[in-house]
Amino acid sequence: MNIRWPRVLTPTYLSQLIQTQKSPLKALHIFNEARTRYPNYRHNGPVYATMINILSTSNRIVDMKQVIDQMKADSCEYHDSVFSTSIKAYAKAGMVNEAVSLFTNLDQFNCVNWTESFNTILKIMVKESKLESAHRLFLENFGKWEVKSRSSSLTWLIDVLCEKKRSDLALQVFQEMNNQYCYPTRETYQVLMKGLCEDGRINEAIHLLYSMFWKISRRGSGEDVLVYKILLDTLCAHGHVDEAADILNKVLRKGLKAPKKKRTQLDFNMCRNGRDIESAKSLVNNALIKGVTPSYESYNAMAVQMYGEGDLNGAERVVQEMHDRGFKPRVLIYEAKVMALCKQSMVKEAEKVVTEDMVEGNCVPTVKLYNLVIKGLCSEGRSSRALEYLNKMCRQVGCVPNKETYTILVDGLCEDGSYIEASQLLEKMLVNCYWPEDGDTFSKVIRGLCLMGRPYEAVVWLEEMVSQTKIPQISSWDSLVSSVVYDSAGIEVLSDILDS
């Protein structure tokens, strides 16, 4: 492909130019050639970010490192996201030490905000079980002025510690927040409460709830209900019904500031001694729903969480309460509902949400929501039906199919044996400048076309795959060789690709 260089090169034009290249090596060549062709031109931060994103996505770590080294010599300002992307790429390649080294040398770059990189490297180190190193890195960098959002950073650290089932360490970090002159947010309480409950640290979880009453819940915000629900559900699940009933009354009175008429004494007699735990949870959830401060945010938080937990009936009760209080569900609730339905293989019901419920609610589907339905249909072997939603997306103003949309559909069509349709859709995907992440998508189409007796089309995709510097799977070569072994012309074409 010949590049049409402009008379005067700008960083914006170069970013657009390298983004349209199918091959990361070609993009890198253009990136490097620009400074040779235009002696007065200098890359800026966004150009570097674009190039590094391309190389990291294609797992070309050595080339990415060279570009990062080149960045060091330039004096332009860089956004924190470029380093966060690089750190993630190093970690994905198993080069955690390189990731740590890059972060510890950020002072050699012109970057004034390290918050995103700081959070990223902490999460990676904890996931790699480098807990002591993560704690040391935290202490060395937490107080630096480049780390802007301290509460956010602490919440990140607490979150990843809880993911590693180390809520004891997360609780220590939480208790040190006052020493660092920052205060926990509602999200911090929610993350830590979930971690303590999952680890069975019930007493610490109860103490955390009481501290929340004094610090976060003074005004009785309905959004706090998620934290309360986590603890109350856990108490019910462990058979501590009496304690759950006692804490529920305190939550309604102190946490949610519910009116007296909403604090009626609940009858837990049938749920005692560990019997009928689900009934106890249902009573608690109903009390929270009725006692919550009416607002869209509070109902949204509860409904989304319940859908996420697979509690469809509970979530529907919240949505009904919303309607009764004059609030209309928005797209976040519909997305959570569709995701929950698809997880439970209720794809027809998920379709109904898009085609009926959202229309009645005067709410417009998003790309994410369409992708959820498409993925659900493809998982049931109904890729032809999923294609209809692609057409709906294209007709809807402001709803443009993205890379995930095409990838799900191409894979789904291949799974259903619709290889010709998959090939046609892959072509549309490339026309829209969406390149498959790896060679798997190409390989599926190539093998399928060979099975359909269309080796020439398969060879075209092989050539496209090679042009993007993706390595074909052995099974793809086997399929192609088997298809053209008795065809001298086909062998010649395949030989040309091998020679290139």
Could you give all domains of the chain from N- to C-terminal order, each with its CATH number?
Answer: 1-148 (1.25.40.10), 297-352 (no CATH), 365-425 (no CATH), 435-500 (no CATH)
pLDDT at 103: 92
Model pLDDT, residue 436: 84
Per-residue confidence (pLDDT) for residue 273, from 0 to 100: 53
Q: What is the pLDDT of residue 489?
A: 46
Q: For every one of its 500 residues, what pLDDT tens digit does the chain have, with 9 covering 90 and above? A: 577 888 899 999 999 999 888 888 999 999 999 989 998 899 999 999 999 999 998 889 999 999 999 988 887 888 899 999 999 999 999 999 999 999 999 988 888 888 889 888 988 888 888 887 887 888 788 777 787 766 777 787 888 888 888 898 889 888 877 676 777 888 899 999 999 999 999 999 999 998 888 776 665 567 788 888 899 989 888 888 888 888 888 888 777 776 666 555 555 555 555 556 777 777 777 787 777 777 788 888 889 988 988 889 889 988 998 888 888 889 999 999 999 999 999 999 999 999 999 988 889 999 999 999 999 999 999 999 999 999 999 898 888 999 999 999 999 999 999 999 999 999 999 888 888 877 788 888 988 888 888 888 888 888 888 887 777 777 666 666 666 554 544 555 555 544 55
pLDDT for the residue numbered 53 = 93
| Burial of 244 per CB tally in 10 Å (0-12, 13-18, 19+) | buried
Confidence (pTM): 0.74
Q: In the prediction, which pLDDT does 486 show?
A: 46
C-alpha to C-alpha distance for 362 and 153, rounded to whole angstroms:
38
The whole-number pLDDT of residue 382 equals: 94
pLDDT at residue number 205: 94
**Would you state the pLDDT for residue 476?**
66
What pLDDT, on the 0 to 100 scale, is given for residue 219? 57
Phi, psi of 60 (to 5 degrees): -95, 75
CA distance linking residue 266 with residue 284, whole number of Å: 9
